[in-house]
Structure 1
């Protein structure tokens, strides 16, 4: 659905999976600086919203998710994954429980498949699953924001800011009180700076949680069984993930950013040298310049200079090899 905030002055629509909200409002770096300073907001109304209610919701979700949510306190934010039987990441959920309902926002377009899976696992449990994307939107306030959330809405309070679950018909009115709007490009630049992976960007059909540093933040290693747990336990205790997430500083003299999927190779290799990874997200940061997240093979030396296509890149370790 197209956000009503696309009518704000300077709004330029995002493309691809983020279609429906603004990529920016005319000044990318000003918008980034505002978010970094704790002012403004980001329209995330294109994301999917799913709720689970009923007296057994937390115990039931605990059986399905990688995170320990059996006794999740009200208003405490958490993240969780749903894995395939082989341990590959299928869904990423950003959760909060308000004492009566568990709220989750998910990647745009994934909510229908998520709801279908959850419905298939209800069995005799007293839970109700609902796709609330049509009537509830997500709006992000940056860390340090003093803007108050409307009374009665669910709020995810995280170190990176607050995610508000607002009625869709109240989005325009609330936005008028929330400060300057910042687009998805500003939000993504800060996400990359914070080394936070995103489903469908840093993941592919064979990604496991260890590769992206989701162990701990989205995967609890001391909880009971869930689908894909065998792979998580085996890699944690006996093996090593085949790939690892890295943060890249890109050559700032290049006019164009290397696009997601751009192949990485060692800088001292020949032009047709061995592929050792690929760019997953690339952005322009207001302080760091052009930077990116990438997946590389685990055994790539952590200090090795790389080439992203023809662009020089220096690594920062996110996931230890």
Structure 2
């Protein structure tokens, strides 16, 4: 099923995830230009059928789905009752079917949860065999070939266009960058049954895919999510949460933090000192002086930015502070680039009543 693993120079793990095909830096450039494809053995496709598929999924997740039209793409989160992220999925409306594309480690747990939540809804959930997920950047011949090779439901190709380049309807962006790096991140993923027509295209591995993702400040379930994650701290309200839809599990926390509070942690891009050629790993601790400030979630070598990482930091960590990442025996200096600011949230325009003790003292009028 996977004609790519036998290519010369391909390095893959036991699960078939290709790390690189000989030169990760060149692969980034080819991927960015739209001339390479990236087989995603670390991604899994799930198919939903049945008359209630959209209204049912809308009612239990963070995204508004009932208005999707054939060919539309979006993404959703499944939250626990306290608003913490449990699952994340890309969504493609394929007409008579709804397809989800998820990180492979989340596929079985998500299918189990969806099955438990089905009750009497007319929905069928399956993980089709004999298909794989392949990614590319829009705007080149590789993406065109990928769309042509995609599974079709009627005339609709099962191709997910990542919504990250802009804030989606009902979403909200916390990042205050004048030009968000995600605006140029035109990533697509296709569900493919026969990859043979793509076998001769240039390949890019997961190292190249992650480098472009990190540079775009794009969160991912397999990397940025832990047991405490809420969508606000990774700026995931931007594309995965509809703030004006009806109720769903975790919605109260989403609204409360966004309108009245601040997320306790914040996503930042760290520019790492590359003089020792050491790259941290997911989970490595970030220090502000002697105090733990957070942890690395993704670390990559970008072809232009050099060694960079995404990290989840405490909101209390000053944005201008030089940090240190401890990677084994190595200490790596890191400079912050703010993604989610410390004052994110508290968007509700609620009048603040002046406390009685702080009211200006007014002398009583004099009487002649």
> Counterpart in 1 of 2:365?
none
DSSP 3-state at the match of 1:105: strand
> Counterpart in 1 of 2:37?
41
The higher radius of gyration belongs to 2
Q: Quick check: 2:286–2:294 contact (8 Å CA) kept in 1?
A: yes
> Counterpart in 1 of 2:341?
320
Of 97, 107, 132, 1:137 maps to 132
Alignment of 1:200-215 (within 5 A): 200-215=222-237
> Counterpart in 1 of 2:158?
154
Alignment of 1:214-253 (within 5 A): 214-253=236-275
CA RMSD for the aligned pairs? 1.5
| Alpha-carbon distance in 1 for matches of 2:46, 2:23 | 33
| Alpha-carbon distance in 1 for matches of 2:113, 2:3 | 31
| Alpha-carbon distance in 1 for matches of 2:116, 2:88 | 18
| Alpha-carbon distance in 2 for matches of 1:305, 1:196 | 23
Alignment of 1:181-196 (within 5 A): 181-196=203-218
Of 104, 116, 141, 1:108 maps to 104
State TM-score, norm by structure 1: 0.92
* Structure 1 stretch displaced more, 122-131 or 242-251: 122-131
Q: Quick check: 2:105–2:222 contact (8 Å CA) kept in 1?
A: no
Of 297, 308, 317, 2:314 maps to 297
DSSP 3-state at the match of 1:156: strand
Of 48, 71, 84, 2:67 maps to 71
Cα deviations by residue, 1:255-280 (Å, 9 ceiling, x for unpaired): 211222111112xx2xxx11011111
DSSP 3-state at the match of 2:221: coil
Cα deviations by residue, 1:213-263 (Å, 9 ceiling, x for unpaired): 101310110011111111111111111111000001100212211222111
Of 169, 176, 180, 2:199 maps to 176
Q: Quick check: 1:89–1:208 contact (8 Å CA) kept in 2?
A: yes
Q: Quick check: 1:40–1:182 contact (8 Å CA) kept in 2?
A: yes
DSSP 3-state at the match of 2:246: coil
Of 89, 92, 96, 1:93 maps to 89
Aligned residues: 307
Q: Quick check: 1:144–1:161 contact (8 Å CA) kept in 2?
A: no
DSSP 3-state at the match of 1:150: helix
Q: Quick check: 1:3–1:45 contact (8 Å CA) kept in 2?
A: no
Q: CA deviation at 1:176?
A: 2.4
Residue 24 (1) aligns with residue 51 (2): no
| Alpha-carbon distance in 2 for matches of 1:77, 1:201 | 22
| Alpha-carbon distance in 2 for matches of 1:315, 1:73 | 40
| Alpha-carbon distance in 2 for matches of 1:140, 1:276 | 34
State TM-score, norm by structure 2: 0.80
| Alpha-carbon distance in 2 for matches of 1:174, 1:115 | 30
| Alpha-carbon distance in 1 for matches of 2:32, 2:78 | 31
| Alpha-carbon distance in 2 for matches of 1:253, 1:241 | 34
> Counterpart in 2 of 1:6?
5
Tell me, which stretches of 5 or more residues in structure 1 are unaligned?
none
